[in-house]
Amino acid sequence: MEQWPMVKSGFQKEKEFDASSSSSKDEFTIALSGNANVGKSVIFNQLTGSNQIVGNWPGKTVEKAQGKLYFQGQKIHVIDLPGIYSFSTFSMEEIVSREYIAYEKPDVVINVLDASVLERNLFFTLQLMEMEVPLVVCINQVDIARQKGIIIDEKKLEKALGVPVVSTVAVRGEGLRKLIEKAVKAAENPENVPEIIKYGGEVEKRIQNLSEMIESKKISLKYSNRWMAIKILENDPEIIKNIKNESPDIISYANQLAYQIEKIHQEPSFAVMASERYTLANFIASGAQVQTKIDIPFSERLDKILTHPVLGYFTSALVIIGLLLWTFTIGDFLEGILSNAFSFFQPVDPQFSGAITAILWNGAFGGIVAGVTLIIPFVIPFYLMLSYIENSGLLTRVAFMMDSFMHKIGLHGKALIPLILGYGCNVPAIDSTRILETRRERLLAAFAITFAPCAARTILILGLVAIFVNIWWALALYVLDLIIIVIMGRLALKATPGESTGLIMEMHTLKLPSFSVILKQTWARTKSLIYLVFPIYIVGSALIQAFYAMGVLEPVSNFMAPLTVGWLGLPAFAGVLLIVGAVRKEFILLTLVSFVGTDLTLALNTTQFIVLAIVGMLYLPCFSTIAILIKEFGWKAASLITGANFTTALVVGGLFAHILPYFL
**465 assigned binding-site residue:** no
The reply, when asked if residue 60 is annotated as ligand binding, is yes
Taking the C-alpha atoms of residue 229 and residue 429, their distance in angstroms, rounded to an integer, is 40
Q: Is 140 annotated as a binding residue?
A: yes
- Count Cβ atoms below 10 Å from residue 3 Cβ, excluding itself: 7
| Residue 438 annotated as binding site | no
DSSP string, 610-651: HHHHHHHHHSS--HHHHHHHHHHH-HHHHHHHHHHHHHHHHH
CA atoms of 356 and 547, how far apart (whole Å): 10
Long-range contacts of the stretch 38-41 (C-beta < 8 A, 24+): 38/83, 38/112, 38/113, 38/114, 38/121, 38/140, 38/141, 38/508, 39/112, 39/114, 39/140, 39/141, 39/168, 39/170, 39/171, 40/80, 40/83, 40/112, 40/140, 41/65, 41/80, 41/517
- 450 phi and psi, to 5 degrees? -65, -15
* Other Cβ atoms closer than 10 A to 389: 22
* Backbone φ/ψ region at 114: left (φ over 0), alpha (ψ -120 to 50), beta: beta
- Residue 134 assigned as binding residue: no
- Find all residues with CB under 8 Å of 297, minimum gap 6, and list them: 147, 148
- Residues 6 or more apart whose Cβ sits within 8 Å of residue 660: 606, 607, 610, 611
Distance of CA 522 to the CA centre of its chain: 12
* Strand 289-291 to 52-56 pairing: unpaired
Q: Is 37 annotated as a binding residue?
A: yes
Annotated binding-site residue? 45: yes
From the list 437, 447, 440, 409, the residue with the least C-alpha distance to 505 is 437
Q: Is 38 annotated as a binding residue?
A: yes
CA distance 206 to 264: 12
Residue 643 marked in a binding site: no
- CA-CA distance, 68 to 88, in Å (whole number)? 29
Annotated ligand binding at 317? The verdict is: no
Tell whether 193 is in a known binding site.
Answer: no
Rg (CA), the chain: 29
Find, among 391, 398, 394, the residue nearest to 415 by Cα: 398
Is residue 645 marked as binding?
Answer: no
Looking at the DSSP bridge assignments, the partners of residue 604 are none
Check the annotation: does 111 bind a ligand. Answer: no
Q: Is 245 annotated as a binding residue?
A: no
102 is in an annotated binding site: no
Check the annotation: does 137 bind a ligand: no
Residue 336 marked in a binding site? no
Three-state DSSP class for 91? Answer: coil
CB 176 within 8 A of CB 11: yes
393 is in an annotated binding site: no
Q: For the sheet with 74-80, list strands across it.
A: 52-56, 63-71, 74-80, 27-34, 108-114, 135-140, 165-167
Phi, psi dihedrals of residue 529, rounded to the nearest 5°:
-70, -40
Q: Is 608 annotated as a binding residue?
A: no
Is 63 labelled a binding residue?
yes
Residues 6 or more apart from 576 whose CB is under 8 A from it?
A: 548, 553, 554, 557, 591
Residues within the annotated binding site for GTP?
34-41, 59-63, 80-83, 140-143
* Binding residue numbers: 34-41, 45, 48-49, 59-63, 80-83, 140-143
Tell me the binding residues for Mg(2+): 45, 48-49
